[in-house]
């Protein structure tokens, strides 16, 4: 459909009837506007009326169809993961795994498989914001030659619960409170912490949720995890346990809490915009696929149960094997048709991949298919282009609401003998190439009576929470403790904070003490543990700060200018930033009228009042004496510098801009440098040791 109307003239005023429009005229060569039945429309500006000022006629089928479709454009949003952003791309195998799996996409080095990847928040609705403290979904649909495989995970390797039967309770508690419909997209309220404090198995996930993992800088800098233990099966039928990890090429990056709050005000679509613009500019996001592969002996030797989704396998115990890369290189053409209608189902697997008996995974195998039917209104949702496999689909499933295929012939059942009568008999099963459920899909101890019970090791709710705490830097530990204080301070039920702190005493006494002090409550008694926690070796791989990459590649650097800014210095800085594969963003009091030192007028990328420094990864203050004197009177300029400093970012500056930095409370440190003395290198990191001087943390 053309983006230009077939008629270029303004119409619809003064009772015009447009009978003068010829059969051939200004619309020649353009696509014709039609109804959904293909009937060409002569007038899309006026409804059919009885007389110039008479009532609208019911027979106006163009109006009725248009309004009918508009009335039904919104479909039920996802119960969780409602707010999402997505992109097309490909997965490339970087080595052959034919010895451990028969899955075709892993059999040949260099094999590329189309994918559609959706990132999301969990708790908020579709109209919420991008940057709350929340888990991020990381779902990948592989369009393989053998059918669709959906790897549906999060940016955190563990989950709140062990058994899917608790999922409705978790979601009900964290969603808006039922009687008041708020808070939106936040867990800092009574019902969530009431539930969480009564569910010790959630403690490990709570440690992650209160960490900086849930306030990421970008979708491009989050890790992704399949969470559950799956199985690979090779041609010989041998089974291998596998856990899936996505590692971002740009390294992990997070924001800090004050920055995340201010980002919500600065740009509700911060993550969505970042992903879209990166792909549009050719800076394609990329991840490595790492696998943890192990056998039953390894599983049985660990002090936790590998089928427990509240547990992880430390990378120091079982290193990742990097087997491929994921590249996102194309934005969706239509948000609704693709990002909104894409339907992920963990039950979608291909030959060579199979499930484990993880009780959370087992419940997900049912719930996703069921919820997609509810959302998309038909059992034929798999026929939507974004969900349709890119390999042949042949079966005897027929009819149903919104059936888009047109099956031919009488054969809608099997077995049948219609082929013997010269009629198409339809497809047949193939024992050789078809999917086989792994016959050895159970661990030796997974057999037994039918019981509503969990494995013995599932009762250890605190050992890995302690492991996570011990693996963080002091700065990250302070953020976690402070997050608990902030969230629990929003809880009005008096018994909940002490109960939660009683659980934290099983994790670490210092953590619990810091949270209790921050809340102003007495340290309670330690809550009894169903199984006494053990000490595990720290895992540096669990820390963001210990794994950040010293690079500005893919990041955005804000450059504050004003009248009198040195033209050559600005040109050199922009060039240096681009050479480092980052994006310079020039900010000025007025977008189009900054007069540089050589008399040229530069058009800024953003206005100072609408481009706060939280939108950038580092800040450059490139001001002349004249520009500094002017901006000293601008509160937005002082706040621009103050926030960059407060959010622990590098600040590069000219000597002339020193008064502005002083007014913003900037004190010299390793991250405050002259623009001509290594600013690009300084911009590659955050300055965590600055934080204790700026705010009180738990």
Which residues are part of the catalytic machinery? 81, 154
Show the tokens assigned to 551. Answer: 């690079």
Residue 249 backbone phi and psi in degrees, to 5: -60, -35
Q: Which strand (E) or helix (H) includes residue 618? A: strand 618-621
Dihedral over Cα of 506, 508, 509, 515: its sign: negative
Q: How far is CA 651 from CA 290, 329, 605, 629, 646, in A?
A: 35, 32, 19, 19, 11
Residue 219 backbone phi and psi in degrees, to 5: -60, -30
Contact, 476 vs 543, CB < 8 A? yes
Show the tokens assigned to 442. Answer: 């159970």
Nearest to 78 by CA among 171, 195, 202, 193: 171
As a whole number of angstroms, the distance between CA 444 and CA 239 comes to 13
Nearest to 529 by CA among 452, 477, 481, 465: 465
Contact, 673 vs 650, CB < 8 A? yes
> 3-state DSSP call for residue 627?
helix
Residue 457 backbone phi and psi in degrees, to 5: -70, -15
DSSP at 145: T
Beta bridge partners of 151: 140
DSSP at 624: -
Dihedral over Cα of 171, 173, 175, 180: its sign: positive
> 3-state DSSP call for residue 151?
strand
Q: How far is CA 318 from CA 91, 95, 205, 305, 314, in A?
A: 24, 19, 21, 15, 6
Show the tokens assigned to 576. Answer: 């240096």
As a whole number of angstroms, the distance between CA 263 and CA 252 comes to 18
Radius of gyration (C-alpha) of the chain in whole angstroms: 29
Peptide bond into 183 cis (omega under 30): yes
Show the tokens assigned to 184. Answer: 């939106």
Find tokens 């990250």 and name the residue.
Answer: 476
Residue 334 backbone phi and psi in degrees, to 5: -145, 120
Residue 322 backbone phi and psi in degrees, to 5: -80, 120
Q: What residues contact residue 458 under an 8 Å CB cut-off, 6+ apart?
A: 162, 201, 305, 308
Residue 338 backbone phi and psi in degrees, to 5: -110, -70
Show the tokens assigned to 132. Answer: 């709350």
As a whole number of angstroms, the distance between CA 641 and CA 650 comes to 10
Q: How far is CA 14 from CA 53, 225, 651, in A?
A: 11, 61, 60
β-pairing, 618-621 vs 651-653, is parallel
Q: How is the chain split among helix, strand and coil, in percent rounded to 5? A: 30, 15, 55
Q: Which strand (E) or helix (H) includes residue 290? A: strand 286-294
3-state secondary structure 214-254: HCECCHHHCCEECCCCEEEECCCCCEEEEEEEEEECCCCCE
Contact, 337 vs 141, CB < 8 A? no
């Amino acid at each position: 459909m053309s983006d230009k109307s077939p008629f270029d003239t303004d119409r619809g005023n003064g009772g015009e009837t447009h009978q003068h429009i010829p059969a051939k005229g200004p619309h020649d060569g353009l696509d014709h506007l039609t109804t959904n039945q293909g009937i060409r429309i002569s007038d899309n500006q006026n409804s059919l009326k009885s007389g110039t000022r008479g009532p609208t006629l019911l027979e106006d089928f163009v109006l009725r169809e248009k309004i009918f479709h508009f009335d039904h454009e919104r479909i039920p949003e996802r119960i969780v993961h409602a707010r999402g952003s997505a992109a097309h791309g490909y997965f490339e195998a970087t080595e052959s795994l034919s010895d451990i799996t028969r899955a075709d996409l892993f059999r040949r080095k260099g094999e590329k498989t189309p994918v559609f990847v959706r990132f999301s928040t969990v708790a908020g609705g579709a109209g919420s914001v991008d940057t709350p403290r929340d888990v991020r979904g990381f779902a990948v649909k592989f369009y393989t030659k053998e059918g669709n495989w959906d790897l549906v995970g999060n940016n955190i390797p563990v989950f709140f619960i062990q058994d899917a039967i608790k999922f409705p309770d978790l979601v009900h508690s964290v969603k808006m409170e039922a009687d008041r419909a708020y808070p939106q997209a936040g867990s800092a309220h009574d019902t969530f912490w009431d539930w969480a404090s009564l569910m010790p198995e959630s403690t490990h996930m709570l440690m992650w949720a209160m960490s900086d993992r849930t306030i990421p800088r970008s979708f491009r800098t989050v890790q992704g995890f399949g969470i559950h233990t799956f199985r690979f099966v090779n041609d010989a039928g041998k089974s291998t346990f596998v856990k899936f990890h996505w590692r971002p090429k740009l390294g992990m990056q997070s924001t800090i809490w004050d920055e995340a709050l201010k980002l919500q005000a600065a740009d509700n679509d911060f993550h969505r915009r970042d992903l879209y613009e990166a792909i549009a500019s050719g800076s394609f996001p990329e991840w490595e696929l790492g696998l943890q592969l192990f056998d039953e002996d390894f599983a049985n030797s660990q002090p936790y149960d590998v089928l427990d989704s509240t547990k992880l396998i430390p990378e120091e115990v079982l290193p990742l094997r990097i087997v491929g890369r994921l590249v996102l290189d194309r934005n969706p053409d239509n948000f609704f048709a693709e990002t909104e209608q894409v339907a992920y189902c963990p039950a979608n697997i291909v030959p060579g991949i199979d499930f484990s008996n993880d009780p959370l995974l087992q419940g997900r195998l049912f719930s996703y298919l069921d919820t997609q039917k509810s959302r998309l209104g038909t059992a034929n949702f798999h026929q939507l282009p974004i969900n349709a496999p890119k390999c042949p689909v042949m079966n005897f499933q027929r009819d149903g609401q919104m059936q888009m295929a047109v099956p031919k012939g009488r054969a809608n059942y099997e077995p049948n003998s219609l082929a013997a009568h010269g009629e198409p008999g339809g497809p047949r099963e193939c024992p050789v190439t078809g999917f086989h459920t792994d016959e050895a899909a159970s661990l030796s101890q997974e057999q037994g009576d039918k019981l509503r019970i969990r494995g013995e090791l599932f009762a250890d709710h605190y050992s890995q929470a302690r492991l996570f705490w011990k693996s963080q830097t002091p700065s990250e530990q302070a953020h976690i403790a402070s997050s608990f204080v902030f969230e629990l301070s929003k809880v009005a039920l008096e018994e909940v904070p002490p109960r939660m702190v009683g659980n934290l005493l099983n994790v670490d006494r210092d953590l619990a003490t810091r949270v209790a002090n921050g809340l102003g409550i007495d340290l309670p008694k330690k809550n009894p543990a169903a199984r006494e926690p053990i000490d595990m070796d720290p895992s540096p791989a669990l820390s963001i700060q210990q794994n950040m990459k010293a690079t500005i590649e893919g990041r955005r650097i804000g450059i504050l200018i004003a009248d009198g800014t040195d033209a050559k210095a600005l040109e050199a800085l922009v060039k240096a930033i681009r050479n480092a594969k980052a994006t310079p963003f020039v900010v000025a009091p007025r977008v189009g009228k900054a007069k540089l030192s050589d008399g040229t007028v530069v058009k800024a990328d953003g206005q100072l009042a609408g481009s706060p420094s939280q939108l950038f990864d580092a800040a450059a203050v490139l001001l002349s004496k004249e520009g500094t004197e002017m901006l000293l009177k601008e509160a937005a300029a002082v706040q621009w510098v103050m926030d960059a400093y407060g959010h622990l970012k590098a600040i590069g500056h000219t000597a002339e801009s020193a008064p502005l930095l002083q007014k913003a409370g900037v004190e010299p440190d390793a991250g405050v440098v002259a623009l001509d003395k290594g600013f690009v290198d300084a911009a590659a990191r955050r300055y965590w040791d600055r934080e204790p001087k700026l705010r009180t943390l738990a």
